[in-house]
Amino acid sequence: MFASSIHSALSARAVGALHEFGRYINDMEYRARRIQGAEDAKAFMLGWLSDIGYQQHLMDSEDSEKLAAARWTNVMDFVDWMSQRCGGTIDDTAGVTMESEKKTLLEVIQTIALLSTISEREQDQDVVTLSTLHAAKGLEWPHVVLAGVNEGLLPFKTDDDSLTPEALTQRLEEERRLMYVGITRAQRTLAVSWLMRRKKGRETIAGKASRFIAEMGLEEATTKEDPREKLRALRAEFAAKAAASAQLAADTEPLS
């Protein structure tokens, strides 16, 4: 959305509008990442629905005022359901106050989106599922690949000078828990990879394996592979099979 090449495809006015929309979406994501608990989540969603005038939109788009009101009631029910997933203190219909772990609104959204995707694909198991570590909580797959487990990515930006030592320690603990979430999603096999070189801004820098990989305490018997060597071996295997198939076809071709 913010690529420089977009100016050659769209007018300056369209680019400006697109950038404004992008900034709006980024701001929403930033706020959703920091909102925790049912009360704050509900206030955020109600405020957003008010800002975009969604209730009025429903009224204007339906011929029946009763049907529009019913649709708005469904929206309010969904807001309540979403906010309760964010945890905290909740009073149920029996007047009982319950405490649960607080989650950010973004965590809840990511989890619901992933579960919806898995539900849609449950009839076809031969698929690859992409997930964030946050959204993967509580889920499992037969085979899991954690890609890009590098310093600066996981854990994220440990060289941030704006963080106090206490804040940095807290961040490391949170991201160590995320790493644990990732490696425990695997039922049968787990592959952890890191980049030897990676992009940082516009530069390409040397990559460094995450400290969390060393902390896993892998035994020496653990298989370690160079993906480039494995790719070359696979190409050679496929080439050999193709050559064998061609030879077999030539050998069995009837003489004219």
CA 180 to chain centre: 16
**53-88 pLDDT tens trace:** 999 998 888 888 888 899 999 999 999 988 988 887
Residue 214: pLDDT band (50, 70, 90) is confident
Percent of the chain with pLDDT over 70: 83
Between CA 192 and CA 62 the distance in angstroms is 52
Interior angle at CA 78, CA 73 and CA 80, nearest 5: 95
* pLDDT for the residue numbered 17: 87
Percent of the chain with pLDDT over 90: 12
Between CA 181 and CA 140 the distance in angstroms is 10
The CA-atom distances, in angstroms, between 201 and each of 99, 160, 205 are: 42, 15, 10
For residue 60, give the DSSP letter: H
Q: Could you tell me the sign of the dihedral formed by the alpha carbons of 151, 101, 136, 104, in that order? A: negative
Residue 94: pLDDT band (50, 70, 90) is low
Plot region of 29 (φ>0 → left; ψ -120 to 50 → alpha; else → beta): alpha
User: Hunting for tokens 């018997």 — which residue is that?
Assistant: 221
* pLDDT for the residue numbered 49: 93
Mean pLDDT for 134-156 is 85
What is the residue type of 165? Answer: P
**Contact at 8 Å (CB) between 51 and 24?**
no
**4-58 pLDDT tens trace:** 667 677 788 888 888 888 888 888 888 888 888 888 999 999 999 999 999 999 8
92, pLDDT greater than 70: no
